[in-house]
Amino acid sequence: MLEPMESLDEDAKLMVRYRDGDSGAFLTLYARHKGPLYRYLLRQVRNAGAAADLFQDVWSRLVATRGRYEARAKFATYLFHIAHNCTIDFFRRDLKMRNTARPDDADALSEPEVPEYQRPDGIAEFAEQQSALLAALGALPREQREAFLLHEETGLTIEEIARVTDVGVETAKSRLRYAIRKLKKSLLPAPIPGAQPLRTRTI
């Protein structure tokens, strides 16, 4: 059941306007969501070139299917559901490619596929991975990383994360719980090698 226009979030209204032919609405939507979407894709696939391709793919699908858009929920859930599907397709293709690759191609696969125009940003992004938190984020299982990114980048609730990722609410909650538990450990100061614990003297 469609929600009345008054109760829609601002972005959903913009998407409806874009569906009906207002290209200016698309520019606003793009400006609002390009950063979160790009970071979601970049930190999910951890490859600047692949993230750029997926980024364009997501917006292309949104443009191509705008005529069928129905404002059922928050616009971010619609956009990131497309992004989720794109990343799922990417990981399937990647897994298939790795399974069919010859052993000689192992080195080639481990290198990032970065287009020429993307290289400076790719270098910056890989340098960013030196951060302890982002390194821990990259080490998370993909589903847990996705739950954390969806909440941090878009402010989606547990229910909305579940809708975007096509899982139950409890599953989404469990993924996010495990994610933050592991990530919080990265915030703890690293122990200094060789340091002795402080001794307290009781008088």
Q: Token pair 């969501």 is at which residue?
A: 33
81 binds another protein (CB under 8 A): no
Q: Are 135 and 129 in contact (CB under 8 A)?
A: yes
Residue 116, classed as helix, strand or coil, is: helix
Q: Are 49 and 112 in contact (CB under 8 A)?
A: yes
In the bound complex, what is the minimum distance in angstroms from residue 47's beta carbon to another protein?
13
110 binds another protein (CB under 8 A): no
27 binds another protein (CB under 8 A): yes
Residue ranges of E strands in 47-144: none
Q: Are 174 and 68 in contact (CB under 8 A)?
A: no
B/e letters for 5-16, b = 16+ CB within 10 Å, e = fewer, are: eeebeebbebbb
59 binds another protein (CB under 8 A): yes
Tokens of 7: 């109760």
159 binds another protein (CB under 8 A): no
Tokens of 119: 């290289």
Pick the stretch among 3-11, 85-93, 102-110, 130-138 that binds another protein (CB under 8 A).
Answer: 130-138
131 binds another protein (CB under 8 A): yes
Interface residue with another protein among 10, 35, 101, 139 (CB under 8 A) is 35
Contacts with another protein by CB under 8 A lie at: 18, 21-24, 26-27, 30, 34-35, 38-39, 42, 52, 55-56, 59-60, 63, 117-118, 120-121, 124-125, 128, 131, 133-134, 151-152, 157-158, 173, 176-177, 180-181, 183-184, 187
